[in-house]
Amino acid sequence: MDRRNHYRELHVQPDAPIGVIRAAYRALIALHHPDSGGHHQRAARITEAWHILGDAERRAAYDARRAARGDAIRARRAPSAPSAAPPVDLTACPFCRTPVLVERARCARCQAPLAPVPDHPPGDEDAAEWERRRLPRVSRADWSLLYLDWRSEPVDVRLRNLSLGGASVYAGAPIAVGERVRIAGTPFDAVLDVVACRRHGVVFVVHGRFVTAHVTVRTERDGATTS
């Protein structure tokens, strides 16, 4: 299977319209064509990328192959079902590994939350309905602090989504799958394991699964309480 990234070859985004792709191809081939002093192999890759992305049917087939390949990679990285999180060892802080000697809400050293996240919401309500009605609404204007290490200075991230199992944020740099981070913001404060990271324009979308968390949920009267 061809693993070349034709979008990257033409310096365009996967959702770029055909006009943008055509303009990028013309500019690059004029620059890299052998008649202009360019390299033959680079010109050939640019031409191949245009051959695929410049045709609607070939582009759709190529996008489908990329999506399938991405799903396969994510499946290898996370073989367990998303809801099947590994058990949390609450004898130590999941973020800084400080021993937890007495029951408390936060770690004495790094202040990370220590409350485990339940597999299912309390009561008999359907999980999806409970999530829709009770979790705080996330705005793309909401900012939080992301800690890569309990000793390091946090970086600003923008919230993208919040669910029962975890959260996703927009970050300025990639974070490796498998890293354990802490995200502290208004709707929640949580320790998460990074399960996916992908480029989104000039930023990165980072998805994390909750390990421990304090989440502010809406009450029936649209108030708020911490869970």
CATH architecture of 81-227: Beta Barrel (2.40)
What local confidence, expressed as pLDDT, does residue 122 receive? 46
CA separation, residue 10 to residues 93, 110, 176 (Å):
46, 45, 26
Name the residue with higher pLDDT: 30 or 224.
Answer: 30
CA separation, residue 167 to residues 80, 117, 152, 170, 184 (Å):
18, 13, 21, 11, 11
Percent over 90 (pLDDT), the chain: 30
**Is the confidence at residue 40, as pLDDT, over 80?**
yes
Res. 3 pLDDT band, cuts 50 70 90: low
Percent over 70 (pLDDT), the chain: 74
**Is the confidence at residue 199, as pLDDT, over 80?**
yes
* pTM score of the predicted model: 0.54
Q: Chain centroid to CA 57: how far?
A: 29
CA separation, residue 97 to residues 111, 146, 165, 182, 198 (Å):
12, 18, 22, 13, 28
Strands (E), the chain: 143-147, 155-162, 166-171, 180-184, 188-200, 203-218, 224-226
Residue indicated by tokens 């202009």: 36
Q: Determine the Cα–Cα distance for residues 54 and 9; give it in Å rounded to an integer.
A: 13
Q: What are phi and psi of 183, to 5 degrees?
A: -120, 125
Q: Which residues contact 199 (CB under 8 A, 6 or more apart)?
A: 174, 205
Name the residue with higher pLDDT: 164 or 50.
Answer: 50
User: Right CATH number for 6-77 from 1.10.10.10, 1.10.287.110, 3.30.450.20, 3.40.50.2300?
Assistant: 1.10.287.110
**Is the confidence at residue 4, as pLDDT, over 60?**
yes
Name the residue with higher pLDDT: 139 or 82.
Answer: 139
Which stretches of the chain are DSSP H helices? 6-9, 18-32, 40-53, 56-77, 127-134
Please give the mean pLDDT across all residues of the chain: 79
What local confidence, expressed as pLDDT, does residue 214 receive? 82
What local confidence, expressed as pLDDT, does residue 124 receive? 45
What local confidence, expressed as pLDDT, does residue 2 receive? 53
State the span(s) of the chain assigned CATH 1.10.287.110: 6-77
Q: Which residues contact 192 (CB under 8 A, 6 or more apart)?
A: 166, 167, 180, 181, 182, 183, 208, 209, 210, 211
**Is the confidence at residue 201, as pLDDT, over 60?**
yes
**Is the confidence at residue 86, as pLDDT, over 70?**
no
What local confidence, expressed as pLDDT, does residue 88 receive? 56
Q: Report the range of poorest mean pLDDT among 33-37, 60-64, 74-78.
A: 74-78
Average pLDDT value for residue range 12-32: 91
State the span(s) of the chain assigned CATH 2.40.10: 81-227
**Is the confidence at residue 110, as pLDDT, over 50?**
yes
Q: Report the range of poorest mean pLDDT among 34-48, 114-128, 188-202, 203-217.
A: 114-128
Q: Determine the Cα–Cα distance for residues 98 and 140; give it in Å rounded to an integer.
A: 34
Q: What are phi and psi of 160, to 5 degrees?
A: -115, -45
